[in-house]
């Protein structure tokens, strides 16, 4: 294998990101905040770490982000057995998913990086040869976009996302004082193994209600008081208007100096509060803190192949069709941040 590469992109207003061809992973995101540079993304020390990482930090995950029960699915009357890498289930595309591939760089300039990958027929059990492209772009004002595109030569499943972990207060702190808002009035309850039960439940009156900005530590404590399993936030929210202009989620730093607004066209958003991050090393090789970062992953709904009754779009891609998915991350320092009562105007709409 040739040497892995790292690429830096800069926006005109000082935002800097680093991306590696190892898993097409987003390694770093440095945001200017009131005269100081703030690293807001969790990461590993070297590009090589991204190919052997246990935590998917910054990785592009696919072919199917999140979980598929029983590591199998049926499509057009045929049953396909997938690589099972989380007990009997598959997580994030399998052991050799996109996060473990070295991607080809097809275009690079100061503001844009484009990477491509060919996933052959049978890769991790999926049918069809899939050609995938991901484009990272930075632009003013303080914006990162991550766009995915894929084409297949046979019917298959495609659900690609970015597994970036954010901590808007910077490394070495937890996220418990940060405020999260999710534009979703329903969520997917899960079994102990984090596979959806099939229900789509309202969030009102539950620890999963983030329709208004909510301190993450308070939501976690409310969940623990219920004495249910799993006692963690690793669930998918159903975005109320995924094709609209409102942001899917906003996150505000504990020091209230920085807000992240995330827009996506996906029907679901997985929020994981980083309970098991201590199993993953940081850039200095030390264990991350528990709740040292959070992942907010726009995606198709987990285990959707087993739930044709769900009204949300599925994840089947056929020859002649083009899969497209775009994520936009806008960073708003305090001078331009929405008020704490209504980040990105979502609170006024609930």
pLDDT at 13 over 80: yes
For range 137-162, the mean pLDDT = 98
Task: Supply angle C-alpha 79, 59, 42, rounded to 5.
Answer: 145
DSSP string over 82-115? PP--BTTBEETT-TTSGGGSBPEEEEE-SSEEEE
Cβ(270)–Cβ(234) below 8 Å: yes
Cβ(58)–Cβ(21) below 8 Å: no
Structure tokens at 88: 């009997």
Query: In 10 A of CB 52, how many CB atoms?
Result: 9
| Average pLDDT of the residues of the chain | 94
Residue 230: band (very low, low, confident or very high) from pLDDT cuts 50, 70, 90: confident
Q: CA 185, 210, 250, 30 torsion: positive or negative?
A: negative
pLDDT at 338 over 80: no
Residue 243, pLDDT score: 87
pLDDT at 288 over 90: yes
pLDDT at 342 over 90: no
DSSP string over 134-185? EEEEEETTTEEEEEEEEEESS-EE-B-EEE-EE-TT-TTS-STT-EEEE--S
What number does CATH give the domain 6-349? 2.70.98.10
Instruction: In whole angstroms, give the CA distance from residue 188 to residue 121.
Output: 31
Query: In 10 A of CB 76, how many CB atoms?
Result: 9
Structure tokens at 89: 């289930």
Structure tokens at 40: 């807001």
Residue 339: band (very low, low, confident or very high) from pLDDT cuts 50, 70, 90: very low
Lowest-confidence segment of 123-132, 169-178, 278-287, 336-345 by average pLDDT = 336-345
Buried b vs exposed e over 166-176: b needs ≥16 C-beta within 10 Å? bbbbbbebbbb
For range 1-27, the mean pLDDT = 95
Cβ(299)–Cβ(272) below 8 Å: no
Residue 1, pLDDT score: 62
pLDDT at 290 over 80: yes
Instruction: In whole angstroms, give the CA distance from residue 327 to residue 331.
Output: 13
Residue 336: band (very low, low, confident or very high) from pLDDT cuts 50, 70, 90: low
Cis amide linkage into residue 337, ω under 30° from 0: no
Residue 347, pLDDT score: 30
List the catalytic residues: 163, 297
Alpha helices by DSSP H, 39-84: 47-52
Residue 348, pLDDT score: 32
Residue 182, pLDDT score: 99
pLDDT at 53 over 50: yes
Give the residue from 201, 184, 178, 180 showing the smallest Cα distance to 350: 184
Instruction: In whole angstroms, give the CA distance from residue 226 to residue 106.
Output: 50
pLDDT at 340 over 70: no
Residue 171, pLDDT score: 86
- The residue that leads in pLDDT, 349 or 144, is 144
Instruction: In whole angstroms, give the CA distance from residue 154 to residue 316.
Output: 10
pLDDT at 210 over 90: yes
Strand partners, 72: 81
Cis amide linkage into residue 79, ω under 30° from 0: no
Task: Supply angle C-alpha 97, 317, 138, rounded to 5.
Answer: 65
Cβ(171)–Cβ(42) below 8 Å: yes
Residue 229, pLDDT score: 76
- What pLDDT digit, counting tens, does each position of 303-327 carry? 999 999 999 888 999 999 999 999 9
Residue 226, pLDDT score: 86
Q: CA 225, 55, 189, 202 torsion: positive or negative?
A: positive
For range 294-308, the mean pLDDT = 97
Distances 90 to 31, 244, 249 between C-alpha atoms, Å: 35, 31, 26
Instruction: In whole angstroms, give the CA distance from residue 55 to residue 272.
Output: 12
Give the residue from 139, 136, 59 showing the smallest Cα distance to 330: 139
Residue 343: band (very low, low, confident or very high) from pLDDT cuts 50, 70, 90: very low
pLDDT at 36 over 70: yes
């Amino acid at each position: 294998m040739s040497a892995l590469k790292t690429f830096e992109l800069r926006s005109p207003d000082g935002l800097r990101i680093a991306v590696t061809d190892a898993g097409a992973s987003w390694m770093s995101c440095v945001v200017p905040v009131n005269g100081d540079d703030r690293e807001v993304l969790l990461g590993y020390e070297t590009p090589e770490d991204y190919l052997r990482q246990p935590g998917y930090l910054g990785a592009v995950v696919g072919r199917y982000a999140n979980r598929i029960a029983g590591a199998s699915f049926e499509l057009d009357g045929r049953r396909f057995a997938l690589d099972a890498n989380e007990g009997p289930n598959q997580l994030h595309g399998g052991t050799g998913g996109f996060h473990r591939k070295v991607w080809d760089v097809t275009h690079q300039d100061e503001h844009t990086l484009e990477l491509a990958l060919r996933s052959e027929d049978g890769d991790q059990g999926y049918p069809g040869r899939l050609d995938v492209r991901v484009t990272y772009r930075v632009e003013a004002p303080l914006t990162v976009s991550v766009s995915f595109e894929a084409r297949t030569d046979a019917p298959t499943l495609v659900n690609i996302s970015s597994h970036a972990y954010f901590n808007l207060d910077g490394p070495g702190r937890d996220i418990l004082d940060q405020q999260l808002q999710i534009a979703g009035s329903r969520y997917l309850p899960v079994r102990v193994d984090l596979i959806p039960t099939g229900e789509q439940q309202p969030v009102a009156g539950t620890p999963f209600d983030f329709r208004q900005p909510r301190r993450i530590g308070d939501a976690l404590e409310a969940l623990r008081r219920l004495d249910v399993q799993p006692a963690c936030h690793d669930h998918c929210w159903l975005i109320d208007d995924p094709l609209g202009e409102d942001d899917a989620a906003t996150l505000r730093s504990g020091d209230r100096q920085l807000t992240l607004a995330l827009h996506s066209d996906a029907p679901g958003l997985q929020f994981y509060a980083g309970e098991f991050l201590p199993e993953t090393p940081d850039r200095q090789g030390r264990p991350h803190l528990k709740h040292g970062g959070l992942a907010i992953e726009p995606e198709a709904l987990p285990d959707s192949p087993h739930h044709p009754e769900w009204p949300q779009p599925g994840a089947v891609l056929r020859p002649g069709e083009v899969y497209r998915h775009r994520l936009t991350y806008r960073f708003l320092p305090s001078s331009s941040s929405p008020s704490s009562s209504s980040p990105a105007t979502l609170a006024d709409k609930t």
